[in-house]
Amino acid sequence: MNNGLPRPVTAVIIVAAGSGERLGYGLPKAAVPLGGEPILMHALRGVVASGVSSQVCVVLPAEAEDLHQLCEEFRQELADGGPLLTLVVGGSTRADSVRAGIAALMDGVEAVLVHDAARALTPEYVFHRVVDSLAAGAVAVIPGVPVVDTVKTVARTTGADTAIAPEVVTGTAPREELRSVQTPQGFRLSTLLQAHEAASGFDEKQSAAVTDDAMLVELLGVRVHAVHGSTQSLKITTPLDLIIAEGLLEGPLGIRWVEG
Ligand code: C5P
């Protein structure tokens, strides 16, 4: 697994403070049950099992007593020598939640992986690939998988065209150059801090356009590397994703056989 290079002191921030409205459960997404326990607990166990971090900082929704309680119980389960588990409350945007996590990092952390709780089934090898890339000198590294669909840009139709269709195609992106990007996204702490400091001055429209941390680092003009992720690392967003995740956990093949 390890590329043999000394790894930086690493923390993982798990952002779990989203509302999860698209799942339609009336619960924060991190609290929605998957295979009998909340989505967050799968993500948290996966991060700890990967063994990549000295600290795991979980960013929770403000009103989620049950999740706080489960994380506290998990903290007690962790064997001596496990990572430090820190719990903080998130903000109204994902970037605010990441900043809340950064503010709670312990002294001595050199690298940070930001991971979505919604990617509850991310295989351990993805964490290792990201940390190995940081150890090899990357300042920012993200996992991604090739895109299977052809991706086109569109614009809304206007005038008489609206009677034909709501949108018109404006271009086709070259598929071999596209990646569906996932988490954990890894950064040298100093770079992630700089990126989020720059973003704190964004207006509402600019903030809404920021969909991952790597994008903020790209805006700094810093080189972002990409490693191969995993299709198993799906982001549970819609009811269909939940069905797929349940299938991965309970299906006849068993999750450990899912690769790629
Ligand atoms: O909303 P979306 O699915 O893009 O969220 C991605 C991740 O960011 C989720 O794990 C969610 O819990 C987290 N998030 C957060 N704070 C927010 C919004 C999203 O921690 N305000």
Q: How confident is the model at residue 81 (pLDDT cuts 50, 70, 90)?
A: confident
Task: Name the DSSP class of 6.
Answer: P
Closest-CA residue to 224 (of 175, 182, 187):
187
Residue 167, domain member (yes or no): no
The residue written with tokens 């351990």 in the block is 124
Residue with the bigger pLDDT between 125 and 249: it is 125
Q: Which domain, by its residues, includes 66?
A: 10-142+180-250
pLDDT category at 26 given cuts 50, 70, 90 is confident
Closest protein CA for atom 3 of ligand 1: 237
Quote the mean pLDDT of the chain. 93
Domain count, the chain: 1
Distance from the alpha carbon of residue 156 to the mean position of ligand 1, in angstroms = 28
**CATH code, 227:** 3.90.550.10
- pTM for the model: 0.94
Q: Look at residue 163 and tell me if it is in a domain.
A: no
Taking only the tens place, the pLDDT of each residue in 185-233 is: 999 999 999 999 999 888 989 888 899 999 999 999 999 999 999 999 9
How would residue 24 be classed by pLDDT, with cut points 50, 70 and 90? confident
Residue 46 domain flag: yes
Dump pLDDT digits (tens) for 136-163.
999 999 999 999 999 999 999 999 999 9
DSSP secondary structure letters along 159-194: GGGGGT-SEEEEEE--GGG-EEE-S-EEEEHHHHHH
Instruction: Compute, in angstroms, the gap from residue 75 CA to the centroid of ligand 1.
Output: 22
Cα 57 to ligand 1 centre (Å):
14
Tokens standing for 159? Answer: 């005038």
Q: Give the pairing of strands 10-15 and 111-116.
A: parallel
Which atom in ligand 1 lies closest to the alpha carbon of residue 119? 10
Q: Residue 80's pLDDT is what?
A: 76
Q: What is the pLDDT of residue 21?
A: 80
* 123 is a domain residue: yes
Examine residue 81 and state whether it is found in any structural domain, yes or no.
Answer: yes
- pLDDT one-digit tens code per residue, 96-109: 999 999 999 999 99
- Residue 159 domain-assigned? no
pLDDT reading at 25 higher than 90: no
Evaluate if residue 40 carries a pLDDT over 60.
Answer: yes
Task: For ligand 1, pick from 116, 211, 233 the residue to mutate: most ligand atoms within 8 Å of CB.
Answer: 116
Ligand 1, atom nearest to 16 Cα: 12
pLDDT exceeds cutoff 70 at 251 = no
234 part of a folded domain? yes
Residues with CB under 6 A from ligand 1: 15-18, 29-30, 59, 90-94, 97, 116-118, 237
Q: Confirm whether 171 is domain-assigned.
A: no
CA separation for the pair 226, 99 (Å, rounded): 23
Give the per-residue pLDDT at 153: 97
- Is the per-residue pLDDT at 22 higher than 90? no
> In ligand 1, which atom is closest to the CA atom of 92?
21
Residue 118 CA to ligand 1 centre (angstroms):
8
Burial class from Cβ neighbours inside 10 Å (0-12, 13-18, 19+) for residue 46 reads buried
CA–centroid distance, residue 124 to ligand 1 (Å): 21
Split at pLDDT 50, 70, 90, the class of 257 is very low
Q: Going by C-beta distance under 8 Å and a sequence separation of 6 or more, which residues neighbour residue 68?
A: 60, 87
Q: For residue 15, what pLDDT is reported? A: 98
Q: Ligand 1 centroid to 209 CA: how many Å?
A: 14
